[in-house]
Amino acid sequence: MLMPEAINENELRQYSAVVLAFVGDAVFELLVRSRLVAHGQRKVKELHLDTVSRVKAASQAKMVQGLSSQLTEVEQEIFRRGRNAKTSPPRHADISDYRLSTGFEAVLGYLYLKGDMERLQYLANLALDNEDKPV
């Protein structure tokens, strides 16, 4: 994954949660795409449909259930800021799912911009591994 120049943590904590989620959304989609491609050759249309099904708000909300116990205090703060951010969800998304996914994406964006790829990968894998577990 392309590594950005790491942003100082104090400066990074001043970023809007929505900006962090904006970055986290792109990072999570790239991680999902990479994971799907690593599982073997498939048609691009199938890869696209599988990616969309995993990155949509409802799927992310299910994935992050129980993830909060794995977050550090700082990550929990970022998650809360993202979850509580004043945003307008897409018409097709449930508001509570959208807020949970925004919180998760804010944490991923924070970790990416901080340059903590190991922690980012750990949390993303944990969430993706939770995908098939019952809520």
Confidence at residue 132, expressed as pLDDT on a 0 to 100 scale: 57
Q: Does a structural domain hold residue 2?
A: no
CA angle, residues 31, 60, 19, in degrees to nearest 5: 70
Reading the block at residue 101, the tokens are: 């996914």
Q: Quick check: is 132 catalytic?
A: no
Q: Is 4 part of a structural domain of the chain?
A: no
3 inside domain: no
Q: Is the per-residue pLDDT at 133 higher than 60?
A: no
The H-assigned helical ranges of 39-94 are 44-55, 57-63, 73-83
pLDDT digits (tens, 9 = 90+) for 58-95: 888 888 887 888 999 999 999 999 999 888 777 777 88
Mean pLDDT in residue range 44-50: 91
Domain of 77? 9-129
Full-model pTM: 0.90
What pLDDT score does 2 carry? 63
Q: Is 111 exposed, middle or buried (CB count within 10 Å of its CB: 0-12, 13-18, 19+)?
A: buried
- In single-letter form, the type of residue at position 94 comes to D
Residue 125 sits in a domain of what CATH number? 1.10.1520.10
